[in-house]
Chain A
Amino acid sequence: MNHDNYPNDYIRGILNSVKTIALVGASQNPARPSWIVTKYLLERGYDVIPINPGLAGGELLGKKVYASLKDVPFPIDMVEIFRNSEAAGPITDEALALDPLPKVLWMQLSVRNDAAAAKAEAKGLKVVMDRCPKIEFGRLSGEISWQGVNSRMISSKKPVLSGKGFQKLSLNRP
């Protein structure tokens, strides 16, 4: 995978196929991007599992917080790393020690670790780096266009309402 430029179908495929997302570096501060992304993904129907040793045992946005990936007692589809690029290395190692393996390793906007990505890809995981799943969801669905952001998407087909209200759009835009 060319990690400088992901095809839209690659990102859409990932966001359509995963259900359980372990978010490493979860925060209980509503002003932090990790809290915002957790909330947004929960609202879009993903089962987000917050990972943060300092908050372990407690609840965040109604979800139980775990100290580390290995403590999660059920399979994880996607690990999203909300830490710095260096920390992404050991977190990737933890993710690759899971059984069953996650299908996707996603590093947040500004986080990039090519060595870790290569390890994960060698084990068959799909990898995304330096992207925000909330921004990508907003871009591919068309929601982000309401904020004047250049979605780099044009289409003569209408966006699809997600069925949960007037202001949520589905990823499955024709």
Chain B
Amino acid sequence: MTDRLPGFNTLAIHAGAAPDAATGARATPIYQTTSFVFDDVDHAASLFGLQAFGNIYSRIGNPTCAVLEERVAALEGGTAALAVASGHAAEFLVFHTLLQPGDEFIAAKQLYGGSINQFNHSYKNFGWNVAWANADDPSSFEAAITPKTKAIFVESIANPGGVIVDLQAIAAIAKKHRIPFIVDNTMATPYLIKPFEHGADIIVHSATKFLGGHGNSIGGVIVDGGSFNFAGDDRYPMLSKPRPEYGGMVLGETFGNFGFAIACRVLGLRDLGPALSPFNAFLILNGIETLPLRMQRHADNTLAVAEHLSTHNKVSWVSYPGLRDDRYHNLAKQYCPKGAGAVFTFGLKGGYEAGVKLVSNLKLFSHLANIGDTRSLVIHPASTTHRQLSDEQKTQAGAGPEVVRLSVGLEDKEDLIDDLNQALDAA
């Protein structure tokens, strides 16, 4: 190959996955092993001292997981990535690397309910304090900044409400105040939105969703954009101070523009342990090979279903940025012209009871708490994913009592519309 950067479809299949050096196996092998034999004692010392590239133990790194890491790094246009056990683990390791007890970070209140719980409750135990801002009002992020603010976190397309976030506006604020800008790109995937091109410094994924895409494996990925200079910045001692774990090595200096990903691996993953199984990495990699094909079909089907629901007499509103009159339509045209994702919410005139009935009556849509499957999925957030939130938080997160969330799959759109019609008729 020449040095020209290959296109997205080519990267989705090839990035990170040369034939196996030992056997020539063309598909990425599942390296189902805990550990790797050292060449000799000195080689072992070099690996433990981070002085050589290589494999030690699958909690820290595994060749199958490494292919997934390089694949996602290439698709996002990052310098490096780290695959972990779940999207939540990805968020946890990112904040563990950036925050000390007593520190703060700012997050958009329009987030996946699980992230809201994680930030509001679990993180309190570590002394990490979240301040909430409004993704629709970038100035609210600037207003929330204090000297203790160490990170800003948003979702590119926010779950569950079909919110498109103005990444460039928030990135400009983060850059002005020299704060790393973290974007959860789970709902968009790099096929629809590439956050590094809009000023993100770090990307996290729940690979469980559209990256894997087949509803069979939990996984998460952290991607380092290489754009934030941690070296010499006292606010981030994990990257800028000599680490006693590694004989005084300064990770942000030693590993340059992929130091953040290395720190998440050798401090976070090594010591906290949420490693991804190589088998899950293999399944997610298989999914990624067809990501561009699937995402376009997901988005096309979703627009058709959303357009149909917007004309249905039992539906009071549809929140999908792909619709021409949606409040986020202009942002969708700017950030994701190929499509506004495959997850959206709509409101039923019949309220909470109608929501429960609709979910019960659907025969093709599966009632479950996931998104980003080949199969079409439905959930009533108020009674499931968002039930632990207060009523006010539910409404703020776009999960009020009348709200139903769909994750539109890859079936024939006529069949999806028929199923929704029969279930609405009966509701």
> B70 near A149 (CB under 8 angstroms)?
yes
A148 touching B66 in the complex, CB below 8 Å, given contacts A30-B49, A155-B1:
yes
A166 touching B39 by the CB < 8 A rule? yes
Known: A7-B3, A31-B242, A167-B39. A146 touches B24 (CB 8 A): no
By the criterion CB–CB under 8 Å, are A149 and B256 in contact?
A: no
A 111-148 contacts with B by CB, 8 A: 132, 135, 138, 142-148
Q: Which of A80-95 contact B (CB under 8 A)?
A: none
Hey, which chain B residues are within 8 Å of A30, CB to CB?
49, 51, 247
Contact A29:B248 (CB < 8 A) given known A8-B3, A43-B46, A150-B79 = yes
Residues of A within 8 A of B65 (CB): 148
Q: Please classify how large the interface on chain A is, using the bins under 10, 10 to 19, 20 to 34, 35 or more.
A: 35 or more
| Cβ–Cβ contact B39 & A148, under 8 A | no
Q: Which of B5-13, B307-315, B344-352 contacts A (4 or more CB under 8 A)?
A: B5-13
Q: In the complex, what distance in Å separates the CA atom of A9 from the CA atom of B16?
A: 19
- For A131, give the chain B residue with the smallest CB separation: B256
CA of A161 to CA of B21 in the docked complex: distance in angstroms? Answer: 7
In the complex, which residue of chain B has the Cβ closest to the Cβ of A169? B21
A32 nearest CB across to chain B (Å): 8
Is residue B218 within 8 Å, beta carbon to beta carbon, of the partner chain? no
Chain A neighbourhood of B49, CB < 8 A: 30, 36
B47 proximity list for chain A (CB < 8 A): 167
Known: A142-B21, A154-B14. A147 touches B1 (CB 8 A): no
Q: Which residue of A has the minimal Cβ distance to B39?
A: A165
Asked whether B20 is an interface residue with its Cβ less than 8 Å from the other chain, the reply is yes
> Which residues of A sit under 8 angstroms from B55, Cβ to Cβ?
146, 167
B256→A109 contact, CB < 8 A: yes
CB neighbours (8 Å) of B254 from chain A are 33, 36
Asked whether A146 lies within 8 Å of B53 as measured between CB atoms, the reply is yes
Q: Is A19 an interface residue (CB 8 A)?
A: no
A149 touches B18 (CB 8 A): no
Q: Which residue of A lies closest to B266 (CB)?
A: A147
B24 to chain A, nearest CB (A): 5
CA distance A16 to B24 in the complex (A): 24
Q: How far is the CA of A82 from the CA of B194 in the complex (A)?
A: 35
Interface residues in B, total, Cβ within 8 A: 58
CA distance A30 to B51 in the complex (A): 9
Of B80-88, B323-331, B406-414, the stretch lying at the interface with chain A is B80-88
B73 and A150 contact, CB distance less than 8 A: yes
Q: Does A103 contact B (CB under 8 A)?
A: no
Whether the pair B261, A149 counts as a contact (CB closer than 8 A) is yes
Task: Output the nearest chain B residue to A132 by Cβ-Cβ distance.
Answer: B256
A64 CB-CB contact with B under 8 Å: no
Q: Which residues of chain B are within 8 angstroms of A168 by Cβ–Cβ distance?
A: 39
B401: interface (CB < 8 Å) = no
Q: Check B51–A40 contact: CB distance below 8 A.
A: yes
With both beta carbons as reference points, the residue of chain A lying nearest to B23 in the complex is identified as A158
Interface residues of B in 201-260 (CB under 8 A from A): 242, 246-250, 253-254, 256, 258
User: Closest chain B residue to A109 by CB distance?
Assistant: B256
Whole-angstrom CA separation of A152 from B226 in the bound complex: 14
In angstroms, how far is the closest chain A Cβ from the Cβ of B200? 15
Residues of A within 8 A of B248 (CB): 29, 31
Produce 1/0 per residue, B50-67, CB < 8 A to A: 111111000001010111
Contact: A154 with B6, CB < 8 Å? yes
Residue on A with the closest CB to B256?
A: A109
List of 7 A-B pairs having minimum Cβ-Cβ separation, nearest first: A165-B39, A148-B69, A158-B19, A150-B73, A31-B248, A167-B54, A143-B53
* Known A138-B53, A148-B80, A148-B265; 19 more pairs at CB < 8 Å: A8-B3, A36-B50, A40-B51, A43-B46, A109-B256, A145-B18, A146-B54, A147-B61, A147-B66, A148-B70, A150-B15, A150-B80, A150-B258, A155-B14, A157-B19, A158-B19, A165-B39, A166-B39, A167-B39
Q: 20 A-B contacts, Cβ less than 8 Å apart?
A: A30-B49, A39-B46, A39-B51, A132-B256, A142-B18, A142-B21, A143-B52, A144-B53, A146-B66, A148-B61, A148-B69, A148-B73, A150-B81, A152-B74, A156-B14, A158-B20, A159-B18, A166-B36, A169-B21, A173-B18
